[in-house]
Amino acid sequence: MIDYSKALSITKGPAVCYSGFREGQCPGQKYPSYQEVKEDLEIVSKHWNYIRLYSCDEHSKTVLQVLRKEDIKLKVMLGAYIIAEMSNPNCPWGADYTENQLLLNKEHNLNEIKSLVALANEYSDIIFSVSVGNEACVDWTDHLVPVESVIKYVKMVKKETNQPVTFCENYVPWLNKLEPLVAEIDFISIHTYPVWEYKNIEESFDYTKQNYQSVQKKYPNKLVVITEAGWATASNGLGIPKENVNKELQSIYYRFLKNWSESEGILTFVFEAFDEPWKGSDDPYEPEKHWGLYAVDRTPKPAMKEIGYKH
């Protein structure tokens, strides 16, 4: 097992994905205020040492400003959010784009990568690693990007920054499609969601381990980090059977994930700090909205109460 504290030049500690959008807020429209982000990060810093951000948007910039100005002791994995560079007929909810839109998307991606480089250099004391994309190569994605483009972005970022560089993706593409990428990145970042693959809580523990071990076995000389793993607390039955998710099951899975990853020395970003009401459909029980360890009003769910919520 490769020691992440050496590979990433950080001490061992717990990690969480953070997106601070509240009721009435969503990316590209209305962003959390400085004070709202400060409130969130003060909660997060009581339980976690590391956070993962998904893009180089206004929200991430506010997070970095708050961390520096308020001297909050959290380190960041900063991501670039790259969007579709090709249509994807395999996407269940549709991902068909015009050639003109794809050209505009490529321009967006180049600008996003440039922003990643700029922020990584400006906040080099806070940002400990960077990712050039999120779930952009998996078969079902609506923002499909060729592996060759991801490699190009990795090389651009490595040339201009000092932080370790990765790419965040579902575990499956790492076993075949992303093999050419592995030689270019500094460490592998995988996502594992047993409940999305119709596993119940009893099946989920072994399945999580298998997902991780399959990638680690294929690349024994590469550090493998889990950048997303979690359990939803509600579902409308679409994609996730209702009986497989609730707050108690989330608590059970979080306890397993925390204990297993700590005992195995695996840096694991639990998904997600707070519920995200802007995601998915208008259905209030849309599972995309309910992965937080805290509700949208920032009250802790049982998983957090169990480990001792600090007021």
Listing DSSP states for 144-185 in one string gives: ---HHHHHHHHHHHHHH--S-EEEEEEHHHHTTTTHHHHTTS
Mean local confidence (pLDDT), 39-64 = 98
pLDDT at residue 59 greater than cutoff 60:
yes
23 prior amide bond cis, ω within 30: no
65 within some domain: yes
Report whether 84 contacts 142 (CB < 8 A).
yes
311 within some domain: no
**pTM of the predicted model as reported, rounded to 2 decimal places:** 0.97
- State pLDDT tens for residues 150-163: 999 999 999 999 99
261 within some domain: yes
3-state secondary structure of 63: helix
Q: What share of the chain has pLDDT > 90, as a percent?
A: 97
Only one residue has tokens 């490699």, namely 151
62 within some domain: yes
- State pLDDT tens for residues 72-88: 999 999 999 999 999 99
Is 56 exposed, middle or buried (CB count within 10 Å of its CB: 0-12, 13-18, 19+)?
Answer: buried
The Cα–Cα gap between 227 and 251 comes to 19
The Cα–Cα gap between 192 and 266 comes to 13
Is 287 exposed, middle or buried (CB count within 10 Å of its CB: 0-12, 13-18, 19+)?
Answer: buried
CATH code of the domain containing 127: 3.20.20.80
Q: Where does the pLDDT of residue 305 fall: very low under 50, low under 70, confident under 90, or very high at 90 and above? A: confident
Q: What is the CA radius of gyration of the chain?
A: 18
239 within some domain: yes
Mean local confidence (pLDDT), 200-218 = 98
Q: Single out the residue of 83, 217, 98, 78 nearest to residue 150, CA to CA.
A: 83
pLDDT at residue 42 greater than cutoff 80:
yes
103 within some domain: yes
Mean local confidence (pLDDT), 3-12 = 93
pLDDT at residue 272 greater than cutoff 60:
yes
Q: How many CB atoms lie within 10 A of CB 249?
A: 20
pLDDT at residue 311 greater than cutoff 50:
no
3-state secondary structure of 228: strand
Mean local confidence (pLDDT), 183-206 = 98
79 within some domain: yes
Helix (H) or strand (E) holding 188: strand 188-192
pLDDT at residue 309 greater than cutoff 60:
no
Mean local confidence (pLDDT), 94-99 = 97
The Cα–Cα gap between 161 and 124 comes to 9
Domain containing 102 equals 4-306
Q: What is the pLDDT of residue 306?
A: 67
226 within some domain: yes
Helix (H) or strand (E) holding 104: helix 99-122
The Cα–Cα gap between 64 and 81 comes to 17
Q: What share of the chain has pLDDT > 70, as a percent?
A: 98
List, in order, residues 6 or more apart from 275 with CB less than 8 Å away. Answer: 289, 290, 291, 292, 294, 295, 296
Q: Where does the pLDDT of residue 1 fall: very low under 50, low under 70, confident under 90, or very high at 90 and above? A: confident
Q: What is the pLDDT of residue 307?
A: 59
Q: Where does the pLDDT of residue 310 fall: very low under 50, low under 70, confident under 90, or very high at 90 and above? A: very low
Mean local confidence (pLDDT), 14-34 = 97
From residue 177, give the alpha-carbon distance in Å to each of 27, 128, 169, 182: 30, 27, 11, 10
The total of structural domains in the chain comes to: 1
